[in-house]
Amino acid sequence: MSTIQDKVVIITGASSGIGEATAKELASKGAKLVLAARREDRLKKLQDEIQAIGGQATFKVTDVTSRQQMEELATHALEKFGKIDVLVNNAGIMPQAFLAENKVDEWDKMIDVNIKGVLYAIAAIVPSMRERKSGHVINLSSIAGHNIYPGGTVYCGTKFAVRAISEGLRQEEAMNGTNIRVTNVSPGAVTSELLETTTDPAMKAGLDEVYQVAIDADSIARTIAFAIEQPSDVAINELIVRPTVQVV
């Protein structure tokens, strides 16, 4: 039996792409899913699909930029399943543009979703893991959390921040003996709806070109399952997953 069986897993950004694929992968291995995102119709459809294959899933419409909604998500998970084993901090947006374009509203949104969303989830969900002395936080950073490129400056900044949060959380939980594992996942180009969040036409065209080699979201879902299914004394801390032919 997989060690994923009966684990309660919250996934933010579960309504598409990597989050949706991860929900399906973990459901097939017996996890109990708590699906979160803003689009209710997508969450409902995913819940139905999981239940149709005999899996267990609940959903809560959640905007990760709201501390209150994040706390309500944690409460929902605890009420439905009695514990939270894994948090997959996956919700993210990537409206890329050169700094000179001054898309300040998009900078704000990226910081709110990609950084504050991750922190709000940690604030709402990790305390119950500390109490149980058991848990696993999986944060979606990116290759953009390792490399900086023109047009990606603010997005890269948010993904560098996610890596810093992952490593800081890892060190603090290890120091305090809470038994909480932390995994930072850095995908390369993956097919999803993420490129649709880039509004700048020239930038979008360039990204479409780069994403010609993109791999399926399932590839990242399998990687996340691999990190979860290790024995509890083994923490996979860093994962970089690119298409084989992606150069940088």
Ligand X SMILES: NC(=O)c1ccc[n+]([C@@H]2O[C@H](COP(=O)([O-])OP(=O)(O)OC[C@H]3O[C@@H](n4cnc5c(N)ncnc54)[C@H](OP(=O)(O)O)[C@@H]3O)[C@@H](O)[C@H]2O)c1
**Beta-sheet strand order (sheet of 32-37):** 56-61, 32-37, 8-12, 86-89, 135-140, 180-187, 238-241
Q: Name the residue nearer to ligand X (CB basis): 81 or 211.
A: 211
**Least distance in angstroms from the C-beta of 65 to ligand X:** 5
DSSP β-bridge partners for residue 11? 35, 88
Residue type (1 letter), 139: N
Nearer to ligand X, 6 or 112 (CB): 112
Smallest distance, Å, CB 223 to ligand X? 12
Is the Cα dihedral 134, 188, 211, 221 positive or negative?
Answer: negative
Residue 46: closest CA among 70, 72, 27, 69: 27
The CB-of-113 to ligand X minimum distance in angstroms stands at 5
Task: By CB under 6 A, name the binding residues for ligand X.
Answer: 12-13, 15-19, 37-39, 42, 62-65, 90-94, 113, 140, 142, 187, 189-190, 192-194, 217
Nearer to ligand X, 66 or 179 (CB): 66
Residue 235 φ then ψ, to 5°: -115, 120
CB 155 within 8 A of CB 110: yes
CA separation for the pair 104, 110 (Å, rounded)? 10
Given the complex with ligand X, which of 65 and 134 has the nearer CB atom? Answer: 65
Q: In this complex, which beta carbon is closest to ligand X, that of residue 179 or of residue 197?
A: 197
The Cβ of residue 48 has, within 10 Å, a number of other Cβ atoms equal to 10
Cα-Cα end-to-end distance for the chain: 38
Minimum CB separation from ligand X for residue 57, in Å? 15
Shortest reach from residue 136's CB to ligand X, in Å: 17
* Nearest to ligand X of 132, 204 (CB atom): 204
To the query of whether residue 149 is one of the catalytic residues in this protein, the response is no
What are the distances in angstroms from CA 24 to CA 29, 38, 196, 220, 248? 9, 18, 23, 12, 29
In whole angstroms, the minimum distance from the beta carbon of 71 to ligand X comes to 14
E-strand spans in the chain? 8-12, 32-37, 56-61, 86-89, 135-140, 180-187, 238-241
The residues annotated as belonging to the active site are 155
